[in-house]
Amino acid sequence: MTLGIWRFSDRLPPVPEEFRVTLGEGDTPLIKLRGLDIWVKLDYVNPTGSFKDRGVAYLTSKLLEEGVKRVVIDSSGNAAVSTAAYCSRAGIGHLAVMPSYSHREKKAEVLWHGSRIVEAPDRDSARLYARRIAEKLGVRYIGFALEPDAVPGFETVVYEIEEELHPDAVFIPTGSATNLVAIGRAYLKLEKGGEIDGLPQLHCVQSAACAPIAGEFVDYKPIDSTLAEGVIVPHTERKEEAVRLIEETGGTGWVVDDDEVYRALELLAVNGVYASPTGAVAVAGALKAGLRGRRIVCIVTGSGLKANLMPRGFEDRILRVGDEGELERLLEEHRL
């Protein structure tokens, strides 16, 4: 049985079997939210808890084929975690440059896989530092905004979605835009090959903290926030292609604030889905769009375990009981 993204090896640029790395990524659930025409692709149900594993499985395989011994990456978290895990599996040295505000849970995952972390003051500094390290140490820089081999593995999410339904629109949380570009390229291939009847609209969703791509389509008021830190990417070389794909498919950009992200998290939670704030960004965009009578797919990219964010008003839902007498009073007051 072929595991991971390699189930679609006939659709991917070739990699000899002896170099193919997998941790069983892919084949993630696609579920419909109650009462809405929204399906969510739970792409956090991957080995390291995020969608990045699709792209990293292919990327690491190419690194292994090319004989690369050590890499450096800049990341707010998920890409650092995923590349640390897959490089560890492949025996490739790994260094991650991460913003100081990246969630502690993500940094712990990186360290568990034997990597080292350089903390930078912000996301753009991380990008610049990582490129300087690569230049000075002579190691391979694999930042997703530039690395061509980071793209093909992400295309497999489209092939999985199309096995179950053909959406009218796909909402994608966007940082470096690697996932959006991959999804767009995959749909163009399917249309060119006559395998689908029309392209779905691609919708880019970004946080109001940083929206260089969605901001090409809508005006927004910037906010000071790191809640959805995974999509805070001030600069990406993939911007031009991302904008072209959005326009070509008839989509647009959406900018969401923290309250809208919280509402998306709450909606997902009552549907049994525990997502990270970044992971919920696409759903926040779809709710803001308010599309009716359309089949909408939202890519949920990260697990709630990545952030361990408590829900709003949680203090009122934790009832501390010190003894049996207090328990009896709670029962009498019908507070349980």
Per residue in 281-320, pLDDT (tens digit) is 999 999 999 987 789 999 999 999 888 788 888 878 888 8
| pLDDT for res 15 | 97
Burial of 206 (0-12, 13-18, 19+ CB in 10 A): buried
Could you say which DSSP state residue 49 is in? S
Predicted TM-score of the model (pTM): 0.92
Strand ranges for 201-329 from DSSP E: 201-207, 253-256, 296-300
Q: How far apart are CA 205 and CA 42, in angstroms?
A: 17
| pLDDT for res 336 | 74
Residue 238 near residue 147, CB atoms below 8 Å: no
The β-bridge relationship of strands 116-120 and 38-42 is unpaired
| pLDDT for res 1 | 61
Backbone phi, psi, residue 302, to 5°: -140, 150
Q: What is the pLDDT along the chain (336 residues), one digit of tens a residue?
A: 677 899 999 999 999 999 999 999 999 999 999 999 999 999 999 999 999 999 999 999 999 999 999 999 999 899 999 999 999 999 999 999 999 999 899 999 999 999 999 999 999 999 999 999 999 999 999 999 889 999 999 999 999 999 999 999 999 999 999 999 999 999 999 999 999 999 999 999 999 999 999 999 999 999 998 899 889 998 899 999 999 999 999 999 999 999 999 999 999 999 999 999 999 999 999 999 998 778 999 999 999 988 878 888 887 888 889 999 999 988 988 777
| pLDDT for res 131 | 97
Per residue in 99-115, pLDDT (tens digit) is 999 989 999 999 999 99
Burial of 9 (0-12, 13-18, 19+ CB in 10 A): middle
| pLDDT for res 3 | 76
Note the helical H segments in the chain.
Answer: 52-66, 78-90, 104-112, 123-137, 156-164, 178-192, 239-248, 258-270, 281-289, 324-332
Residue 182 near residue 151, CB atoms below 8 Å: yes
| pLDDT for res 246 | 98
